[in-house]
């Protein structure tokens, strides 16, 4: 038994032993977490501020008289154009989901091949991939534009999806988890007559669940919040995604649009929080080993 | 003998088939641009007319005639050497503490929030904190306490830009490492803790150093490489806080220099040379970390 310093709290018949260090840790964590959650709280609070609170100087952090006006303004501000607001939301969802699915499947199967199969030049390939992680992405914009343009993919969903699928980040991430998979599991499955595809889907993929769930979060957040690629690859209004639309609402300039902007930011944060919560619950509550033990 | 050869040939073909989709896209969108940039760094390519081979001229120019580059180099080193380790260690400690805490899903979300709301919302928050007028949260607080009489110019003062940006970067960048470590902790083999207890490894810190950390080497390595790449490649945080270019180039980094030459002056050759230097420095640090955390020496 571990011995800890602590004290007893007596609540009637109930007696709880609380360790001092545990309370201190909780306090510190709560303090830090309050600080890091500020941006999220601000986004939520701002979405419900009436116009006079939005434009007040000095700015106020918390909403005082909550209202739904901003969401009406958002619909009004965007419905005047020929493309309905919902179209941008659908564009964003389609591009992000497709990017996530393609990234997970292509990266994890490639990582499995590199770690556990007889891929030639393993080390050279791995070093090459990790090395590109350290090259400034700024300079890849122009060459990528040329490729997309030459493939005739301008103004298509593929232009927003293809360049993001095979990144060094995702591959390196999954590869690190694949390293931890004991060879014995694979051998056992092969002896039972499973082919490599079955080994991958039945053994490797379940083992890498925490890794893949985490990669879903990274990939989704990056794709969903990307306000840059659509500026480069998309010229048609109907193909734009949410972040670009929000930017154009913001730069349209009139102060009255501040409300629409706040509501739009709120709407754009909701899916990322949902995906995060969904995936993180899977990471935290599924033990990778329990399935294979 | 013949049978084995045939089988291994089949295995190779299968491995290549599994790897091919990734490799094609990777080559097209990542590898080719990098190789192209390395090539451009030896030319005076300007996106329009000039594209002549100039040997090492760009590199000579950088180190002998470009004081702003040297300043950017210094700023980047200072930035990365402080922000990198602090963010790395903090995100691990948080993951480790939260991993066996009640209500960890909510705490984890709150801790990851800056990464989710990146971009505009974050910029609003730090402006709110560090606004250079008397309405900024910190200025307001300090003035009310009577510690300062006039507001501090957080994003204009040459001495303050770097420290404040380091603070903001740490705040912004902890999320990724945190999630990686959370996933790694969940992948740890629980049986080893029981085995360790029998061998006399008791207490949270002993378990951390003898069982958890050695098991998590792959994630620790990934987190480290990612932190190094991120902190050496810093640009967005500084440019949105202190403007581009920052006052007196006080917050000028290597990627800011790349951006300046590639997209303001269109001197792709020169910008590529800066990128190659940044790449070499980052790679050196990355290799050192790989040597320290290599998972092969178990």
What's the whole-number mean pLDDT along residues B275-289? 94
Q: Give residue A253's pLDDT band: very low, low, confident or very high (50, 70, 90).
A: low
User: In terms of C-beta density within 10 A (0-12 exposed, 13-18 middle, 19 or more buried), how is residue B136 classed?
Assistant: buried
| Cβ–Cβ below 8 Å for B218 and A43 | no
Confidence of residue A10 (pLDDT cuts 50, 70, 90): low
Domain borders along chain B are: 67-297
Is the pLDDT confidence value at A100 over 60?
Answer: yes
Best mutation target, A139, A209, A247, A288, to test chain B (most B CBs within 10 A): A139
At residue A2, the pLDDT reads 44
pLDDT at B30 over 90: yes
A57 touches chain B (CB under 8 A): yes
How many helices and strands (H and E) does chain A possess?
16, 2
Q: How far is residue A147 from each of residues A144, A154, A162, measured CA to CA in Å?
A: 5, 10, 11
B176: nearest CB among A26, A118, A218: A218
ipTM score assigned to the predicted complex: 0.86
Reported as a single tens digit per residue, the pLDDT across A158-174 is: 999 999 999 999 999 99
Contact with chain A for residue B279, Cβ under 8 A: yes
> How many CB pairs below 8 A link A and B?
256
Residues of B whose CB is below 8 A from A227: 119
Q: How is A194-246 classified by DSSP, letter by letter? A: --HHHHIIIIIHHHTHHHHHHHHHHHHHHHHH--SHHHHH--SGGG--HHHHH
Q: What is the rounded average pLDDT of the residues A220-232? A: 90
A290 vs A137, residue with greater confidence: A137
Is B229 in contact with A133 (Cβ distance < 8 A)? yes
Q: Is B48 on the interface with A (CB under 8 A)?
A: no
Q: Quick one: average pLDDT of B120-134?
A: 75
pLDDT, position A287: 47
The answer, for A231 touching chain B at a CB cutoff of 8 Å, is no
At B293 the pLDDT is 86
The whole-angstrom separation of Cα B40 and Cα B44 is 7
pLDDT digits (tens, 9 = 90+) for B41-76: 999 998 888 888 999 999 999 999 999 999 999 999
Supply the pLDDT for residue B2. 47
Which of A4, A36, A151 would best serve as a mutation to test chain B binding (most B beta carbons within 10 A)? Answer: A36
Task: Write out chain B residues lying below 8 Å of A49, CB-based.
Answer: none
Whether residue A177 lies within 8 A of chain B, CB to CB, comes out as yes
Q: How confident is the model at residue A268 (pLDDT cuts 50, 70, 90)?
A: confident
Cβ contact B226–A133 (<8 Å): yes
Topology at the third CATH level for domain A78-291: MetI-like fold (1.10.3720)
Share of chain B above pLDDT 70, in %: 95
Please name the residue of chain B whose CA is at the shortest distance from the CA of residue A228.
B119
Residue B20 has pLDDT above 90, yes or no: yes
Q: What residues of A are in contact with residue B21 (Cβ under 8 Å)? A: 106, 109-110, 166
Least confident window among A5-19, A111-125, B224-238, B264-278: A5-19
A158 CB within 8 Å of a chain B CB: no
Q: Does the distance separating the beta carbons of B112 and A106 come in below 8 Å?
A: no
pLDDT of residue B207: 86
Who among B8, B47, B111 is closest to A36 (CB)? Answer: B111
Q: Do A219 and A111 touch, CB atoms closer than 8 A?
A: no
Q: Show residues of chain A in contact with B28, CB under 8 Å.
A: 147
| Residue A184 in tokens | 């014995």
- pLDDT at position A1 is 38
Distance of CA B207 to the CA centre of its chain: 29
Instruction: Say if residue A57's pLDDT is above 50.
Output: yes
Instruction: Specify the pLDDT at position B125.
Output: 76
Whole-angstrom Cα distance, residue B154 to residue B142? 13
CATH of domain B67-297: 1.10.3720.10
pLDDT in tens, B76-95: 999 999 999 999 999 999 99
Q: What's the rounded mean pLDDT across residues A18-38?
A: 85
**A288, A270, A273: which is closest to A212 by C-alpha?**
A288
Q: Which residues of A touch B183 (CB under 8 A)?
A: 177, 210-211, 213-214, 283
pLDDT of residue B59: 96
Contacts of B43 in chain A (CB under 8 A): none
Banded pLDDT at A14 (limits 50, 70, 90): low
Q: Which residue in the set B128, B183, B263 is minimally distant from A59, CB to CB?
A: B128
Of A10-14, A270-274, B11-15, the poorest mean pLDDT is in A10-14
Query: A129-138, B33-42, B121-130 — which is least confidently predicted?
Result: B121-130
Q: What is the dihedral of CA A42, A48, A51, A54, to 10 degrees?
A: -10
Predicted pLDDT at B288 = 93
Select from B111, B182, B202 the Cβ nearest to the Cβ of A33.
B111
B190, closest residue in chain A (CA to CA):
A289
- Whether pLDDT at B238 is above 50: yes
Contact A59 B135 (CB under 8 A): yes
Distance CA A129, CA B27 (A): 10
Angle at B297 (CA atoms; ends B293, B298), nearest 5 degrees = 100
Closest CA in chain A for residue B262:
A139
Sort out which chain B residues have CB atoms less than 8 A from A40's CB and list them.
110, 113, 116-117, 121
Which residue out of B35, B117, B191, B218 would a mutagenesis test of the A interface target, given it has the greatest number of A Cβ atoms within 10 Å?
Answer: B117
In chain A, residues with a C-beta closer than 8 Å to the C-beta of B182 are 214, 280, 283-284
B272 vs B275: CA distance, rounded Å: 5
pLDDT at A102: 97
Residue A9 has pLDDT above 70, yes or no: no
Higher-confidence residue of A282 and B245: namely B245
Residue B269 has pLDDT above 80, yes or no: yes
Q: Across all residues in chain B, what is the average pLDDT?
A: 87
Provide, as residue numbers in chain A, all residues whose Cβ is less than 8 Å from the Cβ of B225. Answer: 130, 133-134, 172
Q: Evaluate if residue A89 carries a pLDDT over 60.
A: yes
Domains of chain A: which residue ranges? 1-36, 78-291
Average pLDDT, stretch B133-144?
A: 82
What integer pLDDT is reported at residue B242 of this predicted model?
84
- What is the model's pLDDT at position B255? 93
Q: What is the pLDDT of residues A104-157, one digit of tens each?
A: 999 999 999 999 998 999 999 999 999 999 888 888 888 899 899 999 999 999
Span A60-71, mean pLDDT? 87
At B166-214, the pLDDT tens digits run: 998 898 888 889 999 988 888 777 778 888 888 888 787 888 888 889 8
pTM value > 0.90: no
Could you tell me if B94 lies within 8 Å of chain A, comparing CB atoms? yes
* Cβ pair B183:A132 closer than 8 A: no
* Inter-chain residue contact B113 with A39, CB threshold 8 Å: yes
The chain-wide mean pLDDT, for chain A, equals 84
């Amino acid at each position: 038994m571990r011995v800890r310093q602590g004290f007893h709290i007596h609540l009637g018949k109930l007696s709880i032993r609380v360790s001092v260090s545990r309370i201190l840790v909780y306090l510190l964590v709560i303090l830090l977490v309050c600080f890091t959650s500020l941006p999220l709280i601000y986004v939520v609070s701002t979405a419900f501020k009436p116009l006079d609170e939005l434009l007040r100087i000095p700015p106020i952090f918390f909403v005082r008289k909550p209202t739904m006006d901003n969401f009406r303004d958002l619909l009004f501000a965007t419905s005047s154009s020929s493309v309905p607001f919902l179209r941008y939301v659908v564009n964003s969802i389609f591009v992000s989901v497709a990017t996530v699915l393609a990234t997970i499947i292509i990266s994890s199967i490639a990582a499995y091949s590199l770690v556990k199969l007889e891929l030639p030049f393993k080390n050279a390939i791995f070093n090459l991939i990790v090395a590109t992680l350290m090259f400034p992405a700024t300079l890849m914009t122009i060459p990528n534009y040329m490729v997309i343009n030459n493939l005739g993919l301008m103004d298509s969903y593929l232009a927003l999806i293809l360049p993001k699928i095979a990144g060094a980040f995702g591959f390196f991430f999954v590869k690190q988890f694949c390293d931890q998979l004991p060879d014995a599991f694979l051998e056992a499955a092969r002896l039972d007559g499973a082919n490599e595809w079955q080994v991958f889907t039945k053994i490797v993929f379940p083992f890498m669940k925490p890794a893949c769930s985490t990669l879903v979060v990274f990939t989704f957040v990056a794709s969903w919040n990307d306000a840059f690629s659509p500026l480069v690859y998309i010229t048609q209004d109907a193909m734009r995604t949410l972040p670009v639309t929000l930017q154009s609402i913001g730069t349209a300039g009139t102060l009255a649009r501040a409300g629409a902007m706040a509501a739009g930011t709120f709407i754009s944060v909701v899916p990322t929080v949902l995906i995060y919560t969904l995936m993180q619950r899977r990471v935290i509550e599924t033990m990778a080993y329990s399935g294979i033990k | 003998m013949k049978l084995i050869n045939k089988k291994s040939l089949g295995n190779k073909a299968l491995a290549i088939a599994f790897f091919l989709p990734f490799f094609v896209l990777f080559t097209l969108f990542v590898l080719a641009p990098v190789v192209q940039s390395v090539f451009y760094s030896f030319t005076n390519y300007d996106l329009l007319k000039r594209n002549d081979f100039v040997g090492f001229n760009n590199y000579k120019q950088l180190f002998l005639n470009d004081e702003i580059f040297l300043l950017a180099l210094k700023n980047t080193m200072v930035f990365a050497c402080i922000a990198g380790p602090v963010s790395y260690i903090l995100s691990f400690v948080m993951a480790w503490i939260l991993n066996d805490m009640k209500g960890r899903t909510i705490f984890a979300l709150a801790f990851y929030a800056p990464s989710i709301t990146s971009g505009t919302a974050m910029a609003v928050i730090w402006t709110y904190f560090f606004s250079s007028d008397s309405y900024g949260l910190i200025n307001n607080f300090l003035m009310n306490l009577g510690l300062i009489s006039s507001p501090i110019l957080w994003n204009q003062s040459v001495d303050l830009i770097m420290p404040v940006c380091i603070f903001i970067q740490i705040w912004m960048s902890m999320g990724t490492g945190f999630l990686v470590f959370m996933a790694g902790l969940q992948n740890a083999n629980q049986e080893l803790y029981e085995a360790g207890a029998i061998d006399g490894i008791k207490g949270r810190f002993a378990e951390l150093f003898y069982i958890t950390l050695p098991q998590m080497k792959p994630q620790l390595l990934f987190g480290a490489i990612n932190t190094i790449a991120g902190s050496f490649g810093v640009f967005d945080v500084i440019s949105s806080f202190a403007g581009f270019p920052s006052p007196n180039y006080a917050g000028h980094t290597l990627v800011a220099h790349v951006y300046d030459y590639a997209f303001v002056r269109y001197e792709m050759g020169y910008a590529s040379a800066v990128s190659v230097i940044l790449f070499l420095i980052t790679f050196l640090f990355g290799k050192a970390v790989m040597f320290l955390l290599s998972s092969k020496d178990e």
